[in-house]
Amino acid sequence: MTQRFYHGSQKHFPNGLTLAPQPDGYVNGGDDAGFEQLVESRRPADKTSRSLSVFLVTDPDLIDAAGGYNDAVYVVNPQSTPEESDLAWYSEAFCEMDKQPHSMDRVMECIDKYWLGEPFPVVERRCPEFRVTSATVLELAELNVDFNDLEQPPAPPSDYSRWPDLLPDAQAIAEYISSQTPYEICEEQIEEQYFGSCAKLQWITLSSISLENQDNHEIDPARQAKCDKRSVRTMPPFLVEDGVMQDGHHRIRTLLSKGVTHHWAYVVEEAPEPELASPSSSRWDKLYDMGGPGR
């Protein structure tokens, strides 16, 4: 039987929405920021940072204990391999830090066992949580408040049919990126980067997009000024992968400066199997006369 994963929220999420890490979530600020930094400092290199994670459980009854909201509970499909940790170790480390005096050796031991995914020895206190880079909403499993009390996302514009619902392959993704930049770019390199991928148009929350790679996208004042004059309603979609902005940094700066909370984005995901099974030749082989299979 396939394992079911759940995510709780105070918000209404439509089916098909991609959940991404929240830059304003509790792990990125608040009174516990110092403790989170300590936990992060002990994170093994092969584990996903809590600040870049969407948190899931396999038992909806544990959502509250795991620090989530159970106003609305959704069944979700993880978009990366779930990493399991027992949150009881996190709580144990936090409580130890509050003791006077406290043992830093014990704190570090608990944090390390959290990252290793070791079950807590007291069965009744176990609280397994799962970290993923993103997850897709499949259905609403439980509604524990009146539907109208959920935070509702702004409705998408009804006249947004100028953009296709799907960029079906790497070539389409490369051509879209090329169409949105005034600079000369290497479409071949972009196709290689997104080989085996497609991108679906989704109405997403801007706060869910991480700008962690924006150092590679410095502000061009002239381009930013031009972007700032564009209509919000006709602003082209961004390109987002694993919750991280890939293309559209000037556009999102404009929207955020105008107080916009939601916009369209092409969300990159794995393409259907046929593309991955296709012959190795490409349009670039023909362009460079490199030939394909059999040459």
Q: 108-147 pLDDT, tens per residue?
A: 999 999 999 999 999 999 999 999 988 888 999 999 999 8
The model's pLDDT over 193-226, given as tens digits with 9 standing for 90+, comes to 999 999 999 888 887 787 765 555 677 888 888 8
Lowest mean pLDDT: which of 36-40, 86-90, 220-224, 271-275?
271-275
Residues 121, 73 share a domain: yes
Across residues 166-194, what is the average pLDDT? 89
Q: In the listed set 80, 114, 149, which residue is the last one of a domain according to the structure? A: 149
Q: Is residue 83 part of a domain?
A: yes
Domain that holds residue 21: 5-149
Residues 200, 134 share a domain: no
* pLDDT band of 57, cuts 50, 70, 90: very high
Structure tokens belonging to residue 24: 């304003």
What's the confidence (pLDDT) of residue 13?
A: 85
Across residues 154-169, what is the average pLDDT? 78
Higher-scoring residue by pLDDT: 281, 22: 22
Phi-psi region of 51 (alpha: psi -120 to 50; beta: other; left: phi over 0): alpha
- Under 8 Å between Cβ of 237 and 164: no
Q: In the listed set 84, 116, 149, which residue is the last one of a domain according to the structure? A: 149
pLDDT beyond 60 at 246: yes
Q: In the listed set 116, 149, 182, which residue is the last one of a domain according to the structure? A: 149
The model's pLDDT over 273-290, given as tens digits with 9 standing for 90+, comes to 654 544 455 555 555 554
pLDDT beyond 50 at 295: no
What's the confidence (pLDDT) of residue 207?
A: 76
- Under 8 Å between Cβ of 53 and 130: no
What's the confidence (pLDDT) of residue 121?
A: 96
pLDDT beyond 80 at 91: yes
| Count of the separate structural domains present in the chain | 2
* pLDDT band of 23, cuts 50, 70, 90: low
Measured CA to CA, the distance from residue 213 to residue 257 in angstroms comes to: 19
Mean pLDDT, the chain, as a whole number? 85
Residues 217, 94 share a domain: no
Residues 174, 74 share a domain: no
Residues 143, 18 share a domain: yes
Q: Is residue 186 part of a domain?
A: yes
Query: 204: which residues sit within 8 A by CB, 6+ positions away?
Result: 17, 18, 20, 240, 262, 263, 264, 265, 267
Q: Is residue 290 part of a domain?
A: no
Higher-scoring residue by pLDDT: 290, 182: 182
Lowest mean pLDDT: which of 12-16, 94-98, 172-176, 252-256?
12-16
Lowest mean pLDDT: which of 49-58, 160-169, 240-249, 268-277?
268-277
Measured CA to CA, the distance from residue 180 to residue 187 in angstroms comes to: 12
